[in-house]
Homo-oligomer: A and B are copies of this chain.
C-alpha cells in the first residue's frame, strides 16, 4: 500500500492554506498502468464517475436501441437540473408512459441558479426529475421496461442493478468487494483506482473492437463528447473541459473527489480519487493531467479556470489560488 500524494494546494497570500491528497492512475487498453500517483490498489466508490458503465446494459440489452444521442448523454449525466436537462428527461418519461413517481432517485433542488430561483419564487418544491441523476434513472427505467421486472429498479438485487454490477465487474476486471448506497439510492460498487482507470481504458479503446459491449461503449463516449452541456451544465467542469477538447475526450466527475477521463485517440483511461472528497481538487487534478497527456490546451480558458483558478473574495479581490502540487506539475 502506497500513501496518497499531495495533488492540489490552496494558496492564500504567500502561504499554502490547505492541501488535498489523492490517488491517480492512467491506464492503457491492455489494462496496464502507464503512470500512477499514490496507491493504484486503493479501493474507492466511483460514485457518478461510472455512470457510462451503468449505462452499458441499457444498450447491450437492446432496450436503448431507439434512444437519441442526447438521451445517451443524459444517461451518463450528473446534470444541473436546468431546463435543457429536465425538459428532455420529462419527454423521456412520457415516451415510457411513465411519470415522476416512477423514479426512485429522490427530489433535489437544482444546482442551476435560474431554475433554482424560479422554484423558490414560485414556492414550488423540486421533483425527482430535477435530481442530477434523473437521466441515469430514465435509463434504468428504460432497461426495466424492457426486462419487465418490478418497479423498485434501484434495489441491489433487482435485475437492472444486477446487470449494472456484472458490466461494472467485467470492465473494471475486478470482483467488487462491496457496494454503498449512492445519493440517488442506486447501489454504487467499489473498485480500485486502477480498476476504474481500466474501465475507462475499455471505453477509450472500444472503437478497436466489434463486440456488443464495445459498440455500446463507443456510443456512450461519443454521446458525452457530443453533448457536453447535457452531461453537467453551464459553468460546470465536465461541460467546460469537454467543450475545450472539442468533445474528443469524455470526462466525468463523481461525488467525494472522483474524476475520470476517457481518451479514445490515445486509448487511455484516467481515474482520480481525492482522499478528502474535495471537488475543487479533483477538478484541478483532472485538468492538469489532461494537459500533461497533451489533450487539453493549457492556454484554453477552461483549462486555466480549473488548473489555477483565482480565489476571489466578496469584494472581488483575488486573495489566493488553487494550484496543482509538485507531483502533478
Residues of A in contact with B (beta carbons under 8 Å apart):
10, 12-15, 17-21, 43-45, 104-108, 117, 120-121, 131, 178-185, 188, 190, 256-257, 275-278, 281, 313-317, 319-320
User: Contact at A319–B15, with CB atoms within 8 Å?
Assistant: no
User: Contact at A105–B278, with CB atoms within 8 Å?
Assistant: no
User: Contact at B275–A319, with CB atoms within 8 Å?
Assistant: no
User: Contact at A314–B185, with CB atoms within 8 Å?
Assistant: yes
Residues of the B chain whose Cβ atoms lie less than 8 Å from the Cβ of A117: 120
Q: Which of B45, B108, B275 is the one whose CB lies under 8 Å from A12?
A: B45
CA distance A44 to B162 in the complex (A): 48
Protomer copies: 2
User: Contact at A184–B313, with CB atoms within 8 Å?
Assistant: yes
CA distance A178 to B104 in the complex (A): 52
Residues of the B chain whose Cβ atoms lie less than 8 Å from the Cβ of A131: 314
User: Contact at B313–A178, with CB atoms within 8 Å?
Assistant: no
Can you list 28 pairs linking A and B with CB atoms under 8 Å apart? A12-B45, A12-B180, A13-B179, A15-B43, A17-B44, A17-B45, A17-B180, A17-B277, A18-B256, A19-B276, A21-B276, A105-B315, A107-B314, A117-B120, A120-B120, A120-B121, A180-B319, A180-B320, A181-B319, A182-B313, A183-B319, A184-B313, A184-B314, A185-B315, A185-B317, A276-B278, A277-B278, A278-B278
User: Contact at A319–B182, with CB atoms within 8 Å?
Assistant: yes
Residues of the B chain whose Cβ atoms lie less than 8 Å from the Cβ of A179: 13
Residues of the B chain whose Cβ atoms lie less than 8 Å from the Cβ of A181: 12-13, 313, 317, 319
Residues of the B chain whose Cβ atoms lie less than 8 Å from the Cβ of A13: 178-181
Nearest B residue to A106, CB-CB: B314
CA distance A117 to B184 in the complex (A): 25
Q: Which of B185, B275, B277, B281 is the one whose CB lies under 8 Å from A313?
A: B185
CA distance A123 to B178 in the complex (A): 48
User: Contact at A275–B18, with CB atoms within 8 Å?
Assistant: yes
